[in-house]
């Protein structure tokens, strides 16, 4: 059975994405949650984004972004506006059902578990607790939107999908989009023109999805919109969170879920920290776990201002403990694996073979060996000369002898090419520039200049990517931060990060000390925010002290294993829970380990 303490809705961002996007947050009831685009409306009242969930999946240069929003504001026609890097066509956009967002959110949420001290006089087999973990599929109907354009705005594409009419706009001036929206009788959040200017300067397009509220379910004034999914290709990977502040009431919580094959991500332009995990907490925590976790998260940001917190990084097909079902092949296909695999195209791959270096002089043999060894360690740079040529559309196979003249001080005074069947300056010239940077001061024993010949052979072949439809091996990473317009001064930029493990420890011994602390580097990812309640054995002991074997495990037969998750922290009042000195001490030990990890 799964229990949630104040369920917690967030932003899912699967895999990497570029500067497209929306993001959700988790804040107090008086705050709004982050949204990377903004809302516009025909009404005069202010509008607020209340919750947005984003799932982004990325591989290579392809990003698939899925998002779910609800909206708090007047029921007049409104639209979402998001910057995108390319013109999206109808085949790039589709609507999804809601339940998958709940599934991803639950899988990566911080969790509270408990262990029972087993009868120390016997050694029963280990028990494993299992936990079980949908939503309304809105009726989708088309609606029209009048084609409008001003002198500065161009409608690049227009189509209907579900209850949305999608328009892709391009603009040349910072206030062009604002003018277009005003001409279509939409109100603009204050400050929109200034924020949009930077995206226009980057050559961004604008995804405008108009919605008819008559076709949407409203709950307590909030419009529950059908999720949208679209994909695009871009070398960049960032998240335009600043636009979300236009619809904000206060501080924003942003939670990003990223899915990528065997790869964790963190941010490149803000500090990174992992959430303290493996902390032992009192039994009463089960009643207010969301409040406890919110306090721990706030404490983490107090110690690491402006940081982005990693809360989870684990293979999406497994979990331990599992607060709900893992992601399967169908889930990942829905989130974008279908178009990720389709984007794989055959490509030409360049190879570089390094022949044995030789010298025609006796005293040059030792230098020839040194040149060959240096060439081996510099192979990536040399191969890069050829790879760059291939990326430019060329495919040149051949051989070139690079003859290095090495001075008695080990410097390269000259590089010649007496034999060159490549006859391609972009390749051989690049080789020459790399060789000129080499130095053999430590190996040089020659009393005069010595010439060493280094043969390099290039070849290439066509590689056809293997399209793997397996759902295994996709790492789900959850990133979480809280910010205002004063602390979030630039959009998030994501970067690949090494694997980490943490939050997997077990209680040990009579007192239940945890056998794992902090976070450590690894070749794979097994990290989670996990908190532990201990139940000490209270039965009568039937063996002598020296025969006792203190062990921790699952519940007695009269109890059921439960996993609590911290969800919907957007609506959890802050300040109700104060962290104990013990928790703060354990958290600081974790931060020390994290600091070593991020050096």
Chain segment 187-229, per-residue pLDDT in tens = 666 667 777 787 888 888 888 888 777 777 777 666 677 888 9
Give the pLDDT score at 82.
81
Integer Cα distance of 147 and 265 in angstroms: 40
Say how far apart CA 519 and CA 529 lie, in whole Å: 11
3 state SS for 539-557: CCCCCCHHHCCCCEECCCC
Sole residue written with tokens 């998001």 = 82
Averaged pLDDT, 354-376: 87
Percentage of the residues of the chain whose pLDDT score is greater than 70: 76
**pLDDT tens digits, one per residue of 451-471:** 999 999 988 887 665 555 566
- Lowest-confidence pick of 132-141, 148-157, 231-240, 452-461: 132-141
pLDDT at 121 over 50: yes
Q: Residue written as tokens 């420890």?
A: 505
Q: Which DSSP symbol is given to 491?
A: -
Nearest-CA neighbor of 151 among 174, 178, 180? Answer: 180
Q: DSSP of 306-333, one letter per residue?
A: T-EEEEEEEETT--SS-SSPPP-HHHHI
User: What tokens were used for 110?
Assistant: 């911080």
Contact status, residue 476 vs residue 313, Cβ threshold 8 Å: yes
Q: What's the rounded Cα separation, in Å, for the pair 160 and 210?
A: 9
Mean residue pLDDT of the chain comes to: 77
248 and 48 in contact (C-beta within 8 Å)? yes
Q: Which two tokens stand for residue 222?
A: 């909030």
Indicate if the pLDDT at residue 54 is higher than 60: yes
Residue range 141-168: average pLDDT? 66
Contact 283, 508 (CB under 8 A): no
Q: How far apart are CA 323 and CA 553, in angstroms?
A: 17
What CA–CA distance (Å, rounded) separates 125 from 130?
16
CB 592, CB 316: distance < 8 Å? no
Q: What pLDDT is attached to residue 146?
A: 36
Residue 472 CB: number of other CB atoms within 10 A?
Answer: 16
Range with lowest mean pLDDT among 36-45, 227-236, 274-283, 342-351: 36-45
């Amino acid at each position: 059975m799964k229990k949630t303490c104040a369920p917690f809705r967030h932003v899912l961002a699967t895999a990497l994405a570029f500067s497209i996007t929306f993001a959700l947050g988790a804040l107090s009831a008086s705050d709004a949650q982050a949204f990377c685009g903004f809302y516009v409306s025909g009404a005069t009242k202010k509008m607020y984004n209340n919750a947005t969930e984003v799932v982004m999946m990325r591989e290579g240069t392809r990003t698939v972004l899925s998002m779910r929003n609800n909206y708090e504001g007047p029921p007049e026609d409104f639209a979402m506006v998001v910057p995108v890097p390319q013109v999206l066509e109808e085949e790039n956009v589709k609507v999804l059902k809601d339940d998958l967002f709940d599934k991803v959110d639950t899988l990566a949420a911080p969790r509270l578990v408990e262990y029972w001290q087993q009868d120390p006089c016997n050694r029963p087999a280990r028990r494993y607790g299992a936990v079980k973990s949908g939503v309304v599929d809105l009726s989708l109907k088309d609606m029209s939107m009048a084609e409008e354009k001003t002198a500065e705005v161009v409608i690049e594409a227009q189509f209907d999908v579900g209850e949305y009419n999608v328009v892709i706009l391009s603009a040349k001036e910072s206030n062009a989009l604002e003018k277009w929206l005003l001409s279509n009788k939409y109100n603009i959040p204050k400050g929109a023109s200034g924020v949009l200017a930077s995206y226009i300067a980057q050559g961004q397009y604008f995804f405008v999805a108009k919605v008819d509220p008559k076709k949407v379910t409203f709950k307590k004034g909030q419009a529950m919109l059908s999720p949208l999914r679209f994909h695009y290709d871009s070398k960049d990977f960032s998240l335009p969170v600043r636009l979300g502040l236009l619809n904000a009431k206060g501080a924003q919580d942003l939670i990003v879920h990223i899915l990528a094959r065997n790869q964790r991500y963190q941010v490149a332009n803000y500090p990174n920290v992992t959430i303290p995990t493996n902390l032992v907490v009192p039994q009463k925590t089960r009643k207010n776990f969301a409040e406890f976790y919110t306090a721990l998260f706030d404490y983490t940001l107090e110690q690491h201002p402006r940081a982005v917190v990693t809360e989870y990084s684990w293979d999406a097909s497994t979990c331990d403990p599992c607060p709900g079902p893992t992601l399967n092949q169908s889930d990942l296909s829905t989130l974008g694996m279908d178009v990720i695999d389709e984007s794989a195209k055959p490509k030409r791959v360049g190879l570089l073979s390094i022949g044995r270096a030789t010298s025609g002089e006796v005293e040059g043999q030792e230098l020839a060996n040194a040149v060959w060894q240096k060439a081996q360690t510099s192979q990536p740079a040399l191969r890069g000369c050829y790879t760059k040529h291939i990326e430019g559309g060329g495919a040149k196979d051949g051989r070139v002898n690079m003859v290095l003249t090495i001075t008695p001080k080990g410097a390269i005074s000259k590089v010649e090419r007496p034999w060159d069947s490549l006859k391609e300056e972009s390749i051989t010239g690049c080789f020459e520039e790399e060789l000129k940077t080499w130095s053999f001061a430590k190996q040089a024993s020659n009393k005069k200049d010595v010439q060493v010949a280094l043969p390099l052979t290039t070849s290439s072949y066509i590689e056809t990517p293997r399209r793997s439809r397996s759902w295994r091996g996709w790492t789900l990473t959850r990133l979480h931060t809280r910010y205002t317009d004063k602390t979030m001064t630039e959009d998030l930029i994501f970067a690949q990060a090494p694997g980490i493990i943490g939050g997997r420890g077990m209680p040990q011994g009579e007192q239940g000390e945890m056998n794992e602390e902090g976070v450590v580097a690894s070749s794979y990812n097994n990290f989670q925010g996990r908190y532990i309640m201990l139940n000490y054995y209270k039965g009568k002991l039937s063996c002598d002290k020296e025969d006792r074997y203190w062990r921790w495990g699952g519940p007695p037969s009269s109890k059921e294993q439960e996993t609590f998750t911290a969800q919907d922290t957007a609506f959890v009042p802050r300040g109700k829970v104060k962290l104990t000195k013990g928790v703060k001490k354990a958290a600081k030990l974790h931060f020390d380990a994290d600091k070593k990890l991020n050096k």
